[in-house]
Structure 1
Amino acid sequence: MTDANHQIRVSVETEYLADQSDVDNQRWVFAYHITIRNEGRFSARLLTRHWIITDGEERVQEVHGEGVVGEQPNLAPGQEFHYSSGAILETEVGSMRGSYQMIAEDGTCFDAEIPAFTLATPHALH
């Protein structure tokens, strides 16, 4: 739980990459575009990430790592950081959720939640 001093908002847009997917071999490729916005009172640096990726068969993969796209951005209050990455699923629909582990300039460590979002091919969901 974060307080007013440590608030990070994460928003996500997704897209299906048909040209990189191989349906015959059960390989569906998706891109996701992340915006991380510091809505708190202190600067905060993203240290690590934790993703939980679930495909349409309920298979779960967890990913832990330092930073995002090779960076550990430091966000001043009101500042945003944008990046894009991707995921490969064995089903045409799945979901992702997770968190970023942050450290604020006051020394407080906290998690910024990445809300669950859906990865789906066009027309996969009614």
Structure 2
Amino acid sequence: MARILIVEDSPAMRAYVRSTLEDCVLGLAGDVDIVEAMNGFDALRLLPRGAFDLVITDINMPDINGLELIRFVRQSDRYRRVGILIISTQAAERDIQRGLRLGADRFLPKPFTPEA
């Protein structure tokens, strides 16, 4: 079973990402466990509770932002292989490159559609 951690401070966007993932998984073999965190601090509390295959994170969040979260994840041997997808309205080329340099695997600008 794949485990995905959604890190997003907007409850509406968390629900949208969850719904999109669940719709995408319906046609795939296997199951997915989706866990939600409301900011980077919450994500750091949840990460040790189980192995995640993917972290989907926003950049702009209170407490610990998405870039700080990525830095932590990539500095830890335990989480180095976890995939990281950034979803953010902060999508200038410099923002995208900064996220990728810190260790994100992909960047998806908001707003996005399920087809993206």
Could you say which TM-score interval applies, normalised by the shorter chain?
Answer: under 0.3
TM-score by length of 2: 0.21
Structure with more of its chain in helix, by fraction: 2
**Structure of greater relative contact order (alpha carbons < 8 Å, 6+ residues apart):** 1
| TM-score for both structures, normalised by structure 1 | 0.20
Structure in which a larger fraction of residues adopt strand: 1
